[in-house]
Amino acid sequence: MHMTFNSPSKNTTATLASSATIDIGDVTLLASTAEIGKLGAGTAEIGKLAAGTAAIGKLAANSGVDIGDVDVLSIATGANLIGKVGIDQTTPGTTDGVTVTNTTIDDYETVAASQTAQALGATGATGDYLSGVLVVPATTSPGNVIVLDNATSITVFTGGAGSVTSLVPFYIAFGAKSVSGAWKVTTGAAVSAIGFGKFT
């Protein structure tokens, strides 16, 4: 190996033999085209990674690699989905079958005394929900109250002589959807009713 050593007064040139144990002290390398350990001239950078497409340690597609924290703050607002988190539809029921149904129970229908199969709602339909019926007796011996799922009759209050001890209205819970048509209510004499639910 041929090297040039700087000194305040002169340059010294010497040839060093190959040795793994000799300490030659500090060495100043002059600007030149010399190559040490065959680190050739080029565009390589030491201590800094140059811009490029090279993979380091083969950081590539791998389902088991933990790459640490990932900044997602730079993802623009909008309809983007990350890892398919969310429902990618703008109109309910058009993309992935999600439908939105109004479940608010806020309808009511009054039924006077002596009515036969009065529909609850403008027309009523299969699937209408009946939350319950408020029975309003006019005497202590009122008639009966019947709820119908279209044509199927269900007696919810039998009525009759002395069937109530006061004229205080009372509520009969139902909590069901119709399966064959509109909900209907039949009332006997001296008793009216109010149906609550979601009616068509």
> Averaging pLDDT over each range in 13-27, 61-75, 142-156, which range is the top one?
142-156
- H/E stretch holding 118 reads strand 118-119
Residue 72 pLDDT more than 70?
Answer: no
pLDDT at 4 over 80: no
The answer on pLDDT for 128 being more than 90 is: yes
Residues 6+ apart with CB under 8 A from 49: 56
The yes/no answer on whether domain 107-198 falls in CATH 2.60.120 is yes
Select from 160, 198, 165, 161 the least CA-distant residue to 182: 198
Nearest one of 155, 158, 138, 146 to 187, comparing CA atoms? 146
Banded pLDDT at 58 (limits 50, 70, 90): low
Mean of per-residue pLDDT scores for the chain: 79
As a whole number, mean pLDDT of residues 101-111 equals 86
Q: Give the pLDDT mean for 41-68.
A: 63
Closest-CA residue to 113 (of 150, 154, 141): 141
Q: What pLDDT sits at residue 153?
A: 97
Q: Which residues of 46-83 are buried (b: 16+ CB within 10 A; e: fewer)?
A: eeeeeeeeeeeeeeeeeeeeeeeeeeeeeeeeeeeeee
**Is residue 1 over pLDDT 60?**
no
Q: What's the pLDDT at 109? A: 98
Q: Which residue has the tokens 């950081």?
A: 59
What tens digit of pLDDT does each residue of 146-168 get?
999 999 999 999 999 999 999 99
Of the given ranges (20-34, 41-55, 121-135), which has the lowest mean pLDDT?
41-55
User: Would you state the structure tokens that stand for residue 138, as one six-digit string?
Assistant: 């006019």
> In which band, very low, low, confident or very high, does the pLDDT at 67 lie, cut at 50, 70 and 90?
confident
* pLDDT at site 69: 75
Domain chopping of the chain, boundaries = 107-198
Report the percent of the chain where pLDDT is more than 90.
48
Q: Is the separation of the CB atoms in 128 and 174 below 8 Å?
A: no
Range in 76-85, 151-160, 167-176 with the lowest mean pLDDT = 76-85
| Predicted pLDDT at 40 | 56
pLDDT band at 98 (very low <50, low <70, confident <90, very high): low
